Structure 1
Amino acid sequence: MISRSPSVTDVLASHRPADGRERADVARLRALLASAADPWDRSLPLHLTASAVIVDPVGGRVLLRWHRRHGSWLLVGGHGDPGESDPLGVALREGREETGLEDLAPWPAARPAHVVVVPVPAAGDEPAHEHADLRFVLATGAPDTVRPERPGAELRWLAPEEAVRLAAEENVRETLSRLDGGPFSRT
């Protein structure tokens, strides 16, 4: 039997938005899915992306990446490559490419932790646009093997509360705050 990758619609079917803002973003994503032949198409003013909070469960840390274009610490992730349609697969591929961590796996489950529409400012020939970002939590058992994909793409392991303080983007802080009461809660 051939197994198929879950579609974005499949992934959203089990996602429960945390608040009204996330419900509105999920509604925009569903409208995109209903209207676009390829919702991953980067030429659309709103298109899909997938990203991840990478965690070190043993050390209780999260990984942030410096993004020079945005001038801030963000999650790893990005655009789907041609032919990709599984958001978790995109998050895993991007996570491996950006960190060198080959053992990444969904944690504690293979479902989005956050769905958010993020504004992206114009840069060069690229106009301002928005990302409908599906965010997952991925874990590594080999945090010391982390390596940036290129110079200037610094990676930093942080305690979750430090990561929340360091992240300038409110939407990133929201994603990170969802770890509270979850896998890193202190009992």
Structure 2
Amino acid sequence: MSLYDDAVQVLKEYEGQPELRELYLGHLAEHPDGMYKPCGAGHLTGSALVVDPSRRRVLLTLHKKLGLWLQMGGHCEPGDLSMEAVALREGAEESGIDGLTLLPGGPVRLDRHPIPAPCHWHLDVQYAALAPAGAAERISEESLDLRWFAYDEVAEVADTSVVRLLEGTLARLP
């Protein structure tokens, strides 16, 4: 199965946000290249909100280009086989943590946000990932900072998309 086919299947199975889900599916139907950065109309991205092993904090990155505290995430790459793989790869690359595991149940949320030209939109498929015991984070070249935040601190530093992702994640945590 290709990454494109996986994305379509993941979106069809995702039960939340029906209008946004249909927008993503329409985008992919109109743009066979809609998985990747060169698609000028926009492209899918994958992200992961990293939760600490004690389930009391999340790891956010201070994005170098945007200057915002965000979950780990980024672009699909030709070697990616699934949206889950994109989220896990980006989570590991940007957090420096190996051994992340996604929470079951597929994506937590979808988030569509504008980006500067030449592309116009990121269509983010958002997951949540648990860090393994003893995990040590490491700042990547894409980040100005990397920090653990207690759940009640997230709204003070992050935008509403991250807050909604946290809310969805908390609803899934055992």
TM-score by length of 2: 0.87
Task: Say yes or no: does 1:133 pair with 2:128.
Answer: no
CA deviation digits over 1:2-36, x for unaligned, max 9? x987701221232111xxxx322211100012122
1:177 to 167, 170, 173: 167
Work out which of the residue numbers 35, 51, 60 in structure 1 matches 2:56: 60
CA apart distance, 1:128? 5.3
Residue of structure 1 equivalent to 2:7: 8
2:8 maps to a residue whose letter is: T
Structure 1 57/16 Cα, relative in aligned 2: closer, same or farther at 3 Å? Answer: farther
Partner of residue 34 from structure 2, selected from 16, 35, 39: 39
Counterparts of residues 1-187 of structure 1 (less than 5 Å): 7-17=6-16, 22-44=17-39, 45-107=41-103, 109-120=104-115, 122=116, 126-127=117-118, 129-142=120-133, 144-150=135-141, 152-167=143-158, 169-183=159-173
Cα distance between partner residues in 1 of 2:121 and 2:45: 10
Name the CA distance, whole Å, in 1 between partners of 2:119 and 2:142. Answer: 26
Could you tell me how far apart the structure 1 residues matched to 2:136 and 2:53 are? Answer: 15
Cα 1:151/1:170, change in 2 over 3 Å: closer
* CA deviation map 1:65-110 (0-9, x unaligned): 0012112101101001124241110111111111111110112x05
In structure 1, runs of 5+ residues without a counterpart are none
Q: Are 1:101 and 1:140, in contact at CA under 8 Å, matched by a contact in 2? A: yes
Give the number of aligned pairs.
172
Structure whose alpha-carbon radius of gyration is higher: 1
Q: Which runs of 4+ in 1 moved over 6 A?
A: 3-6
Q: 1:64 to 1:143 in 2, by over 3 A?
A: farther
TM-score (norm 1): 0.82
